[in-house]
Copies of this chain bind each other. A is one copy, B any other.
Amino acid sequence: MEADWGAIRTDLAMEAHELATQRRGGMIPGVISQSEEKGPARISRVTIQTEEAGRALGKQPGYYVTVEAPALRRRDKDDLEEVGKILAEEIRNFLREMQINEAASALVVGLGNWNATPDALGPKVVELVLVTRHLWSFSPPEKRGGLRPVCAISPGVLGITGLETGEIVAGIVQKIHPDFLLVIDALASRNVERLGAVVQLANTGINPGSGIGNRRLGITPAMLGVPVIALGVPTVVDARTIIHDALELTGAGMGIQREFLNIQERLSPFFRQLIVTPKEIDILIQDLSRVVAGAINIALHPGVTPEEVFRYLD
């Protein structure tokens, strides 16, 4: 289910929408979009209402929110925490709109490969998520102090486990029956300016072929029978995308598609495995993990203050 834009690949609905409107030269029927500024962040909301609109954008119908904040890429703690709080509010909005109450139990899933730096966001977030499910059953309701039962797992990738991530998650869901899932993944964007600077939330779950690791099986509400919130951050751009963009900027015009394929042919097959990423990707992943895990801890546990959350993240 990918729109035919040559090599341009993006996991962000907002970018897919931008591209589609550009190409069509106008609005896409069945897509509602709006955006607002909020402190250091720009928040975009895209609703894909119909299957047809979904095909036009190459995305599942559903509700997508992106929190865009270049501050995520700077190393200032105050900025990072402020973005974390805004992100927490957006996660709470999702819970509210999906009618998930404050006592509903959560399973947080960190997708990706802990041995591949740009793909390790999910597992790193999971290490920082405040898990409470194992404590919760021992404490009387009046003592639970605004803590929701939360558990968390990093299922690994096919090459390490021999198991489809979707199988592992489905097995655990059927065993422990969480009320909803929050699934974290590293994404590909089409624009280098969004690398490490955007968090996308969606009520669609994770679809096959998305994420850096290109999962084969989805992790979706339909598959699991429970709501699934997907949270993703672009950490790479496909190397072919920036070439495509450069060609476009030259005004290569109609011939661009042909030129591009031509260039790809001359370059090696190895080229398809190349990514564009910041030199300091290890530090970026570390900072992003803290912000995302902080936002999750604030949003899932109404009784914990943001100050407490960020203090205990290390």
Contacts and interface: CB of A to CB of B under 8 A. Distances in A.
Contacts of A125: none
Given A168-B172, A247-B250, 8 more contacts: A116-B282, A119-B279, A134-B158, A167-B176, A172-B172, A239-B242, A249-B262, A250-B263
Interface string A179-220: 000000000000011010000000000000000100000000
Given A164-B134, A282-B116, A175 B176 contact: no
Nearest to A236: B279
A232 B40 CA distance: 42
Contacts of A158: 134
A262 B149 CA distance: 42
Contact of A73 (B117, B133, B270): B270
A281 interface: yes
Given A175-B174, A279-B116, A311-B77, A134 B151 contact: no
A276 B275 contact: yes
Contact of A172 (B171, B195, B274): B171
Interface in A94-130: 115-119, 126-127
A139 interface: no
Contacts of A1: none
* Copies per assembly: 4
Contact of A174 (B161, B174, B250): B174
Contact of A275 (B73, B135, B168, B278): B278
Of A73, A77, A161, A281, the most chain B CB neighbours within 10 A belong to A161
A283 interface: yes
B277 A275 contact: yes
Contacts of A162: 131-135, 149-152
Nearest to A274: B276
Contacts of A150: 162
Interface in A236-282: 236, 239, 242-243, 246-247, 249-250, 252, 259, 262-263, 266-268, 270-271, 273-282
Contact of A171 (B116, B175, B290): B175
